[in-house]
Structures are given as structure tokens and as C-alpha cells.
Structure 1
Amino acid sequence: MRRLTLGVFYTTGSIIFIAIFFTLYHKEFMIRTEPYLSKNMIPLFNPHMQSFECAYEAQQLPPVDAQAEAWFLNAQSLYSPEIFFRDRDYQRITQLLARAANRHHWKAILNLASLYLDDNNSQRDEKYAKTLIESGIKLGIPTAYDRMGTYYSTGTYVKADPTRAYALWQKAAKMGSPSAQAFIGEKLNASHDSTDGTFWANRKVSLQMLICAIAQGNSDAAYNLSFRYALQPDRAATREEKQYALLATHHGVRLGCEKCANKLFLQFSNPFDLDEMIVPFIDEARAKRYFTLGKALEFDHFLRFPNLDKVVPLPPAPLPPWNGDRDTLVNAAMGVTPVHFFDESILPGKSRFDVQPPFALHNTHQTTDAKQAPKEGYWRPLGPDQQPVIDESGKPVRPGLYKQNETFTSFFLPHSKPAKPIENIRWEYWITTWGDREAVEPRAPKDLIRVVPRPTPFVSSASDQPCPRTGTWQPWVPADHPLAQLINQHWRQAWVVAGQPFPQPKTDWWLDLPDLKITWHLMDDTPVNINQPLPPSRDSQ
């Protein structure tokens, strides 16, 4: 069944299907969903849709509150596979995720739902997991629709209903959920329709969905895309198609695809069919490195290897000498950051107006005229003139922290006797940010990213210029860019050799945004040396 995983990079696996009557998919009526979806009639799944317009989930998501992100990253670190499951502090993990979810941190909502379905969690609660996913649907989170589809497939606190499951998966894919795109894309990648409703022939849309998903960092899509190129239904794959398959598989390893690493291990060592080889030649040294990375991903599927080309570049690039140590290879392939992991307390400040370092406040310009806070966060009162309300000392009222559904403070007209409340107050929503909002500081859970000194002086380069210095480079766009949550990630980093071009969104990420202005920033210029162990991250010392 599709796995419900806890992590920044939730994944989907295979699914055990109940037979679905094919005729249902062609009826032009809608299925009525649960009350939380009553205003959105969900179209039935249509496996023979004529086209698919790629949508990116990052463009649909609510803004991320930095303090909520800190709680989320801490929770993820406590869930590390390095910690034996019986030693995990589930109470602390739940507490951290709940605090983040209260500020509408979308990943925290999804992961908290997964936590309540974890058999090792003494607080397992399918009903509450479903409630959390419903809240994500109300927020318009595409992957919440995908997750609810999985619940209907598996019968998780709902009656199993594969028809409804597919309808929700299709909805999620069209909204931009990469996991739903990867899943449906794989099911449509057939040369004929199955008789039991488990796969269909729609390779055109399959390709569109898989490319859209891999552009968003989905590793399953990379694996399926490699097969889409390498295995043609009625002919042998061309040399160009095999090259695309190799690039997709290698990119999948970057994104944390265990199956991709194992596939390249077999391809470079002992391919099953020489006619279907996607690699140019047998290379045992490369095979051993992919095998090692695959084993690391088997142990920890949260790992990502953005610096893969640093340790195992594709031919004809030569391999750097390696001492054979697993940790040396894995650490060198991981992403890097100049900032320490922030172990944030879940306790609020002494006053509702406190903003704990290293955070600052940013105005989202979202407003409400409700009497209670629609969600937890910082809210600032605006008078009828849309200017900040003035307090008794004559100063504008600062944004204050309110819990969800907490009644907002009342304010009164100055010098009025008896005191007369200010009418028609609107409240604007502020989120916390990491100090300097535009600072290039990729973040990830502890043990999934190495902390290294930032090179000095700070070096940046436009994406259309050749790389000025060999090293690990981080792509970055302004924080208010609609795709910032998709681009400004540690797994987007790349090891680039001086003089070579930087990765391009369309050709290297499958991200079809040719006009996207990306700036690359040097994160680490330490020379390649995997012939001896890397120094430990400063956070682990």
C-alpha cells in the first residue's frame, strides 16, 4: 500500500488495488465527498484525459512561519532512524509537530497525521489523523488531497472506496501534488489498459505528470521516468532515450531514490540485458559507490545527495579516489549549510508581543475582521482607516501572538468617557522569519545536512554565467517569489566545476520555467577529498 511517511520528503510506494470498474471513469458526473469537501465536487478519475497542465505545489501553499519550521525540523530530527524506535520521544515529537501545525505549517500537518498512524506510537489515532488531513484540505494543500485518497484506498478511518481514492489522487495531481503526479503518472505508463483497472495506456499524460513531479523533487517520479524513456512498448529505445533514462536515474539518486541507486549499481556491474543498458559501459568502481548510497537510503529514506556529482559523476568524468568508507561517501554527497541547527524551545515568550531570537516578523498582508484568531500566529489590529491602532501610550500596537480561536483584544477610543470600543477593527497576520529574510541559509533536519564554514568573501553568480569557482552551489530566489519553497531547498544544491554551466531549471531539473531568474551562491569550496574521512559537522561536535 502507499506508505504514509513522516518527513520533509514524504514518499509513495506501490499500492494494492481493489478492482475498479472501468466504465465508472467515463461517466460525466461528480462524486459527492465528505462534508469538508461538500463545496468542491470532485470529478471522477479519467485515465484517458487528453492532456495534463503541470501545476507546482509550492504555488498553492500558505507562507511558512519560521518558528513553526524550527519546531518541524526539530521533530523530524527526533524521528531519525539513527534513534531506535523504542527510544524515540513520541510525546516531544507530537508536541513539536502540533505547535507547528497550529501555525498552519503544511508539512507538520501531514507529518502529524502520519505520526498518529505510526504503530510504534502509543497515541495512535486514525480518527485524529483523518481530521488533520481534512484541515489540510481546507487550507488547499494539494498533498492533503493525495493523502486522503490513500486513506480511502486503505480504509483508514473511512470505508475503503477506490473510486473516491482515484478521484482524490487526480484532484491532488492537478493541484500540484508531486506524490499524486508520480503515482498516477506511473499508472498511466502502459501500452494497453488492464482488465482489472490497475493501469492504463496514456503515455502522453504519463510523461507530463512524471516530469512535473520530478521537477518538484519527487524521487519516485525520477525512477518511473527512467523506465518511461528506456523501455518503449513496440521498439528498442534510442541512444538519446537511454541517455535521458540515465540522467533521470542519476538525478533520482540526488533526490534520495533508493531504487535509482540500486538500478545504477546493477547497470554498472551486472546488467540483466545488455541491449537494455542505459549506462555506456561496465564500471565496477561506480557500481560500488551507487551500492553504498543505495544502502544508506535503505536505512534512512530522508537522505538527499545534492552533491552526488562530487563523489560519483556520470561518465566520462573521472572518479575521485575514495577510501571505501561509507560515511565518507555519504557525508560528501549530502547538502551543506553555513547555519547551525536551531534547537528551538516550544515554550512561548513571557509576553504575547515577544519575538524570540533569531526570529523577526514579516507582514503577510492577510487580514480578517473575525473576533477570534483564525489561526495561531501574530496579529496586529488596524483601525477603520486601515492604520495601526494606537495604544494608551500613543504608540502603534505591535503584532501580538494569539492562539487559534483566541478572542482578540478590545481597544477603545482615546479620551472617551465612558470608554467606547473602536469599531470595525481588522487584524493583519504576521509570520516569523529567520532574522534576515533574504539570507541564503538552506535548512534541513539535523544529520541530513552538514554545517560548514561559509567561504569568504561571499561569492554569487547569475545562472547564465559559467561557474567561477569549483564547489557546492545553492540556487536561491527572493523569499516572496511564488516558487521560493520549491527552489530555496538544500536538495537543490549542486557540485559545479569552475568554467562549467550551472544547472538550468528546464534541462536539469525538468522545471519548465525558462524565464526564472535564479542566483547561485557558493556554500563550500573545499577541494574534493573522499580518500579520507570528512571532518564532522560543527553541529555534531
Structure 2
Amino acid sequence: MKKLIKKTLLSLILISTSACSNGGNMYSETELKKMLDFDCVIEQKPAIPQETELLYNYAHYQDLHRLWTGKAGDWNDLAKYYRIAAANGNYKANGRLQYLLYSNRIIAENNKKEVIELNEKLEKILPATAYFGYYFYLKKGYGVKTILMGELSYLRRAADLGNRDAQYIIAELLRRVKDKKSLAIRNEVWVKLFKCSSEQGNKDSSIPLALDYQIDGKYAEAVKIFHEGVKNGSGKATNFLMRAFKSVIPENDPLYYLGIKTADSERAIRYEMIKTYLSRNEFLDPKVPDLDEIVPLPPAKLPAWDGKIAFQRWFEGPSPEKPSDELMKKLAEKAGLDWQTGLPLKK
């Protein structure tokens, strides 16, 4: 196994900014390239115990339906489902519970303590995501203390282990460095980071990656990445494709030209409908993994469509069945928890 950390991001940024302030002469091109190097790693998600999904799916449905009007504490009754599912190995329940505690949607006895304990448990099964959590919490001053800017070490570690959000943030940091002499090297690295991140579902990475291909005249690649961005839930990516198919864009349009020579009004309409839903419901963070069943890229023909993405049908449909008390007791006992609260049993 390769070393988890080639260089901390702190060193990476200091190297880049030092190169800038010293006219780019502090390090040779070879040295700088080696320091900035990044190998794409896809985060491997562990299998989720099937019974815990019953708890997660029920809680998640109720959870999302409260996001628009809910106030602090309105999610307290859902905590037990997430806690018990998380304690039995459901990483999705763990992550969502952390968010609800951090944002005070769930009010617990000690929100900070519970969040950090959850992230420590997550580290055992999904370390890349957990390291990104440490970066986020330390940056916000939430949780344990660290050395000055030490949270950046967690960020680089998370990226090297495959966390898509960490990869996106590092790519953006590299893009912001103002140093022309290292631009080519940094461009090579941030494209790799954005590509790796987008492949794993980060919608924010899809846009700069697609635009980079577009600027280079690699229009087919740009279209594929915008398409990937739509799957990742990006309304911006959907808008680019909607415009490209709605009418023939002239080649001298640097913003929207994607090499598409023939307008396709039906494709444009479908993209526009998806864009509208994604934009209006951004707070739900919807994804479109079923995009190829709705708007496959040409030359594939358009299939029949009822006008809704799969997430929309799920969200507008009936609630998943509430888990039985028997199942709650069984899973709680297995994890040593109180089945009515999801908290550890008092000794």
C-alpha cells in the first residue's frame, strides 16, 4: 500500500505560495511536480447491513420532509433510528446523524461529543470520509484542538484515501494560487483531482472539469462530464446541456459551444425539466443516477419518460414503513443501546 500522505496540504500550499513570492525559483519543476502529485483513489464503501437500511430509509424520508419548515429539535424523534443504524455499521446513518447534530436539528445532551464519537466510529469503516469530517470540524473549531492549520493534514489524507469532497477542495485551493510559473503543473493536478471527485459524485467538481475540456476544445469530453454532472445533481451542468441542445450554438460562443451541430428540442426540454427540479429542490441534494434512462447522450434514442426523476418519485411517494419495535429492540440490543433513544444503556 502506498504511503497515505505524500505531503500535507499545508506543505503543498506553502510550497506553491513560496514559489509565487520568490518568482517561482525556490523549487525546480521536477521537485514541485513531485510535491503536488496526486493519484486518484476511489473511496471503497463497505456493505451496509440490510436490516439497518429499514431504519435509515424511514428516518431519511421523514428527515428530508422536515428540511423546509423544521426548527431546532424537530428531528429529535428520528435520532434513535439513525443512532441504532449507525451503531450497526450503516455509514450513511452515521454521516446523516453527524450533520443533524452539528446543525442542531437534533438537540442532544452533548452534540459536539456525540459528533466526534460518531466520526471516530466512522473512521473504522470509512476512513476517507472520517478524515474529511475531522478537517471540517477542526476548521470550524468544532471538536478537538490541533496545531495551526493542522486540519489541512486531514484534508490531504482524506483526498489521498479517496474522499471526493476533499479532492474537490484541494483542486480549488490549487486553482487559487497566483503563480504563473507553476500553472501548468497545478493545472495537471487539479484536473486529476476534479476528475476523480466528479467520478465519485461531487457535482461541484463536474463543472470546472467540463469547462476545462471545453476551453481546450475537447467538446465530446466536456459533454460527457456535464452529463456526469447532471447525474451528480448539478443544475448548472444541466443548464449547459439544455442550452447546447435547444438551438445550434455558434462556434464563436466561448461559454456555451460544445460542438453539438444539430438542435434537439426534446432533449432540451427534458434537461430543462430536470434543471428546474434540481434548482428548486437544491436543499434536498437530489441526484439523477437514472439520467441515462431519461436523456441518454446521442446517438441513443430517447426512451419514454413520465417527467420525473427517480428521486422525485421517491420523495413525492409514500413514506417507507416504520420499523417495528421488535427490529429496533433486536438491533439496539446487538449494539448495547437503549432501543427508545439509541443511546448507550446506563450501567
TM normalised by structure 2 equals 0.70
Instruction: Quote the residue 1:52 is aligned against.
Output: 38
Cα offset, 1:251, TM superposition: 1.9
**Is 1:136 equivalent to 2:122 in the alignment?**
yes
CA contact (8 A) 1:307 1:335 kept: no
- Trace 1:159-170 onto structure 2 (pairs within 5 A): 163-170=149-156
CA contact (8 A) 1:193 1:200 kept: no
Of 228, 235, 247 in structure 2, the residue corresponding to residue 258 of structure 1 is 235
Instruction: Quote the residue 1:402 is aligned against.
Output: 334
Cα 1:65/1:256, change in 2 over 3 Å: same
Cα offset, 1:261, TM superposition: 1.3
Taking the aligned partners of 2:271 and 2:302, their CA distance within structure 1 comes to 12
Cα offset, 1:143, TM superposition: 0.8
Instruction: Quote the residue 1:202 is aligned against.
Output: 186
Helix, strand or coil: the match of 2:287? coil
Instruction: Quote the residue 1:94 is aligned against.
Output: 79
CA contact (8 A) 1:289 1:312 kept: yes
Cα offset, 1:206, TM superposition: 2.1
Instruction: Quote the residue 1:30 is aligned against.
Output: none
Cα offset, 1:121, TM superposition: 4.0
Cα offset, 1:136, TM superposition: 1.9
Taking the aligned partners of 2:58 and 2:200, their CA distance within structure 1 comes to 24
Taking the aligned partners of 1:153 and 1:183, their CA distance within structure 2 comes to 13
**Is 1:211 equivalent to 2:195 in the alignment?**
yes
**Identity within the alignment, %:** 23
Query: Given residue 172 of structure 1, which amino acid in structure 2 is its aligned partner?
Result: A
Please state which structure has a larger fraction of its residues in helix. 2
Q: Deviations over 1:24-82 (max 9, x none)?
A: 7899xxxxxxxxxxxxxxxxxx9963532222222xx4442111122112221112247
Query: Given residue 111 of structure 1, which amino acid in structure 2 is its aligned partner?
Result: R
- Structure 1 unmatched ranges of 5 or more: 1-18, 28-45, 232-236, 323-327, 353-375, 378-400, 407-541
Instruction: Quote the residue 1:222 is aligned against.
Output: 206
CA contact (8 A) 2:86 2:94 kept: yes
Helix, strand or coil: the match of 1:163? coil
Taking the aligned partners of 2:234 and 2:166, their CA distance within structure 1 comes to 17
Q: Deviations over 1:172-210 (max 9, x none)?
A: 11111122223323433x4x8327xxx995222223223
Cα 1:256/1:349, change in 2 over 3 Å: closer
Equivalences, count: 302
Cα offset, 1:168, TM superposition: 1.1
Taking the aligned partners of 2:34 and 2:79, their CA distance within structure 1 comes to 42
- Trace 1:318-467 onto structure 2 (pairs within 5 A): 328-331=306-309, 343-345=321-323, 347-348=325-326, 402-404=334-336
CA contact (8 A) 1:74 1:344 kept: yes
TM normalised by structure 1 equals 0.47
**Is 1:306 equivalent to 2:297 in the alignment?**
no
Instruction: Quote the residue 1:274 is aligned against.
Output: 253
Taking the aligned partners of 2:65 and 2:328, their CA distance within structure 1 comes to 35
Query: Given residue 104 of structure 1, which amino acid in structure 2 is its aligned partner?
Result: G
Taking the aligned partners of 1:350 and 1:131, their CA distance within structure 2 comes to 21
Query: Given residue 85 of structure 2, which amino acid in structure 1 is its aligned partner?
Result: A
CA contact (8 A) 2:16 2:177 kept: no
Taking the aligned partners of 1:162 and 1:262, their CA distance within structure 2 comes to 41
Instruction: Quote the residue 1:249 is aligned against.
Output: 226
CA contact (8 A) 2:286 2:311 kept: no
Cα offset, 1:309, TM superposition: 3.6
Instruction: Quote the residue 1:181 is aligned against.
Output: 167
CA contact (8 A) 1:100 1:108 kept: yes
Taking the aligned partners of 1:295 and 1:110, their CA distance within structure 2 comes to 28
Cα 1:207/1:351, change in 2 over 3 Å: closer
Please state which structure has a larger fraction of its residues in strand. 1
